[in-house]
Copies of this chain bind each other. A is one copy, B any other.
Amino acid sequence: MEPADVALICRALGDSNRLQIVQMLSGGDKCACKLLEHFEITQPTLSHHMKILCGCGLVKVQKVGKWAHYSLNRETFSAFQEYLGTLARGRGTEE
């Protein structure tokens, strides 16, 4: 995983609503309307957030009929965690 990807993921997680969405998805897949119930935002705004979460690879979407089932992409999440791990161990871009 490249630093640019990591920054993209961090920007995605840098919004409280999106962080909460990821939290909810970590507990299991959810469709958009289900997610929407838990927030004080409109449907277009949620759609916008989901696009950002999908865009950075953190979330996957599966269209079923008229529903969109969202799920956490655990591969991306693991790679993200691993990057932070190596960073913490001082294996980053040293001088």
Interface residues of A (CB under 8 A from B): 3-4, 6-8, 10-16, 19-20, 22-24, 26-28, 30, 34, 38, 72, 74, 77-78, 80-81, 84-85, 87-95
Contact = CB atoms under 8 A, between A and B. Distances in A.
A15 B4 CA distance: 9
Identical chains in the assembly: 2
Contacts of A89: 26
Contacts of A85: 81
B92 A26 contact: yes
A12 B13 CA distance: 11
Contacts of A11: 10-11, 14
Nearest to A78: B88
Contact of A22 (B22, B30, B38, B92): B92
